[in-house]
Amino acid sequence: MQILDEINAPYHQIIKSTGEVDDQQLNDLNLSSELLLEMYEWMLKARLLDERLLKMQRQGRIGTFAPYSGQEASQIGSAFALKKSDWMFPSYRDIGSCLVHGMPIEQLVLYLKGFLQGGSPPEDVKVLPVQIIIGGQIPQAAGCAWASKIRKEQDVTISYFGDGATSQGDFHEGLNFASVLQLPVVFFCQNNQWAISVPIEKQMATKTIAQKAIAYDMKNIRVDGNDVLAVYKATLEAVEHARNGGGPTLIEAVTYRIGPHTTADDPKKYREQTEVTQWVDEKEPLIRYKKFLQNQGLLTEESEQQLRQKLELEISTEIEKAEKIVAEPLATSFDHVYDQPHANLLEQKIEVEKRTAEGR
């Protein structure tokens, strides 16, 4: 079904908060029972990992972490619409998408521990290193898509970012670049209502983020970001549009960040708990999708509990593997600056090696 917002832009939704579904749209998707369950498995895995990583940060086992609970439907649904050959440019809050696209949990933990090797994705995983600079990955994704177009490849690039990034110059530069060159790229904005402590209504005057695409003559889609099937359908439409030469798309997935911006943040300082409770009670993505699967006869409490136990064991095993790995020496960081290091860089590396040996 489509719900019209205040500016009459279509807001796409398939599963209601009650778990009831638009049967026509569900039939049009033509998804197997196995695929529907697989989506839930990835959503649950992402949630359990998020909860585990938050505890690990509080225990001092990893560094600062950006929780993503509440945004699983946006991340999992969109990643399912990609091919493994497509390129992904994540921000620091997109672990769910990275997992689906092939990033091992072990690798993600190494990154959060601050290990140099944590920033290098496996060779066969087309996920670029996590971008910390707000919006910095948007023009980079446009550049990657341009390379694919020049090479006449069929790859599509997706860039993930939050609502706060749409106030950055990189957002506008990236969209303009992609529109002018008609690049095969999808700009996926997870509008989680808060750019750190700044609410959406204080950050922009526009009624929606999706409408920003109009200025660039770009296709736009606004979707219920807590409805994994609606997100999958919207992203698949955008990806096929790009792969077939139609150019870029801006997707606004309306969702909510349940936890803090990062583990260095206290959301109680700037938002009311009643707001969080309302989003969780009425729109929480895992609860909604679980109700849907139960209504379809695909999931029971028993099978869900068995799945939860399996995933918790998998997560524990991967974390244990990561924590046994020894960090590379600090001096090896200089090896990742240039392909052929210049004299000054080598001099700095030698100095670091000397100080490390001296215990300084």
What's the pLDDT score for residue 22? 87
Asked if residues 131 and 91 have their Cβ atoms less than 8 Å apart, the reply is yes
> Does residue 269 share a domain with residue 343?
no
The three-state secondary structure class of 147 is helix
What's the pLDDT score for residue 10? 75
Pick out the chain residues at pLDDT < 70. 1-9
> Does residue 305 share a domain with residue 333?
no
What's the pLDDT score for residue 337? 85
Query: What is d(CA 244, CA 236) in angstroms, rounded to the nearest whole number?
Result: 12
> Does residue 333 share a domain with residue 319?
no
Catalytic residue (one of 256, 257, 288, 289): 257
> Does residue 103 share a domain with residue 236?
yes
What's the pLDDT score for residue 8? 53
> Does residue 220 share a domain with residue 339?
no
Residue 261 designated active-site: yes
> Does residue 248 share a domain with residue 176?
yes
Nearest in space to 115 (alpha carbons), one of 316, 324, 348:
324
What's the pLDDT score for residue 9? 63
Sign of CA dihedral 185, 156, 102, 302: positive
Query: What is d(CA 19, CA 14) in angstroms, rounded to the nearest whole number?
Result: 10
Residue 93 designated active-site: no
What are the pLDDT digits (tens) for 228-276? 999 999 999 999 999 999 999 999 999 999 999 999 999 999 999 999 9
Q: How many CA atoms lie within 13 A of 242 on its CB side?
A: 37
> Does residue 112 share a domain with residue 45?
yes
What's the pLDDT score for residue 117? 84
> Does residue 266 share a domain with residue 360?
no
What's the pLDDT score for residue 149? 98
Into how many domains does the chain fold? 2
Catalytic residue (one of 261, 289, 336, 360): 261
> Does residue 338 share a domain with residue 320?
no
Residue 172 designated active-site: no
> Does residue 304 share a domain with residue 250?
yes
DSSP per-residue string spanning 200-245: HHHH-SSS-SGGGGGGGT-EEEEEETT-HHHHHHHHHHHHHHHHTT
Domain that holds residue 176: 2-328
Catalytic residue (one of 270, 288, 336, 360): 270
CATH code of the domain in which 89 resides: 3.40.50.970
> Does residue 47 share a domain with residue 35?
yes
> Does residue 355 share a domain with residue 274?
no
Asked if residues 50 and 95 have their Cβ atoms less than 8 Å apart, the reply is yes
